[in-house]
Amino acid sequence: MQRREFVAAGALAPAVSAAARLPIRKAVYIGMLPKGGYEERFRLAREVGFEAIECATVYDEREAAEIRKASEAAKLPIHSVMNSDHWKYPLSSPDPEIVAKSLHGMETSLRNARAWGADTVLLVPAVVNPQVRYEEAWKRSQEQIRKLLPLAGKLRVVIGIENVWNKFLLSPLEMARYVDEFQSPWVRAYFDVGNVALFGYPQDWIRTLARRIVKVHLKDFQFKTDPQTRKRSAEFTDLREGELDWKEIHRALGEIQYQGVATVELRGGDEPYLREVVRRVDLILQGA
């Protein structure tokens, strides 16, 4: 769907009532905002209706200070940090140098979070590939994450384990077990509703992970069939345009009494597009 069509379609959607709205704050990943200075981007996010923001890891102290200043000026809190090095330098790697770089990235992310007032760092814990077996990914990543727990506890920042397309933690039962084995309040689940669409149902994962969920990512997903080849493909799409059962997701989040933040992680766009994203999130939180 093109941006104009997306915004126009939103104009036809039903109005939001306040009756059954979930007590969840709307947030945006910073990469969705138009390019520009941080103060301008934070101000725009606030003006279109977001209540918090998720930022990426920043190594430069001056840039980190600039981000904090922008957050304070716009009165838009940073609630989470998306660790930026876990794909390039996975904790599950057999190479000690790669693991060291990954740990450094997480330590920086945790300190970013503390400096910005965020309470969570998103982490992709491991990557399974032809060189790294599933069992190895599990053991190696847990071993390294345990090294981060003293710092996480000192800074009072939760490490949020995210479900992604890394061929790892492929069921809600596995993810629950993985988190529970740390026996630490500083390791919880960062649940992405769209990332499980290929191999599960978000509402099932939500009910299984339950209290373990510290933060939520919102995105939608759809399957398409080529009319000529009849081949089926899958791709992310605009909120409420895909396959996800948003009413059931709303019901599941209500059942577990989730009252945190839900961050949209979609393609970026201009002010009208972002306003429409906010409106669609409102509909989701309302259960419409």
Beta bridge partners, 262, equal 26, 216
Vertex 274 angle, CA 263 and 60, to 5°: 60
pLDDT over 80 (residue 234): no
Query: Distance (Å, rounded) from C-alpha 29 to C-alpha 44?
Result: 13
State pLDDT tens for residues 261-282: 999 999 999 999 999 999 999 9
> Tokens for 63?
């840039």
Cα 169 → chain centroid: 16
pLDDT over 90 (residue 13): no
State pLDDT tens for residues 162-216: 999 999 999 999 999 999 999 999 999 999 999 998 889 999 999 999 999 999 9
Three-state SS at 167: coil
Q: Residue type for 112, please?
A: N
pLDDT confidence of 10, banded at 50, 70, 90?
A: low
What pLDDT shows up at residue 192? Answer: 97
Scanning the chain, the segments in alpha helix (DSSP H) are 3-11, 38-48, 61-74, 96-116, 134-155, 172-180, 202-209, 246-255, 271-286
Numbers of helices and strands, H then E, in the chain:
9, 10
Query: Distance (Å, rounded) from C-alpha 191 to C-alpha 24?
Result: 14
Question: What is the pLDDT averaged over residues 219-245?
Answer: 87
Question: What is the pLDDT averaged over residues 5-33?
Answer: 72
Query: Distance (Å, rounded) from C-alpha 186 to C-alpha 151?
Result: 10
What pLDDT shows up at residue 198? Answer: 86
Scanning 156-263, the segments in alpha helix (DSSP H) are 172-180, 202-209, 246-255
pTM, entire model? 0.90
Residue 243: phi, psi to the nearest 5?
Answer: -90, -15
Query: Distance (Å, rounded) from C-alpha 105 to C-alpha 30?
Result: 18
What pLDDT shows up at residue 18? Answer: 46
Do residues 159 and 118 touch, judged by C-beta distance below 8 A? Answer: no
Query: Distance (Å, rounded) from C-alpha 288 to C-alpha 280?
Result: 9
Q: Considering only CA atoms, which of 253, 280, 256 is closest in space to residue 266?
A: 280
Question: What is the pLDDT averaged over residues 102-127?
Answer: 98
Any idea what DSSP says for residue 13? S
Beta bridge partners, 235, equal 222
Residue 12: phi, psi to the nearest 5?
Answer: -90, -10
CA distances from 9 to 235, 241, 249, 263 (A): 20, 10, 22, 22
CB neighbourhood size of 281 (10 A): 23
Vertex 52 angle, CA 34 and 10, to 5°: 60
CA distances from 241 to 219, 230, 235, 238 (A): 10, 21, 11, 6
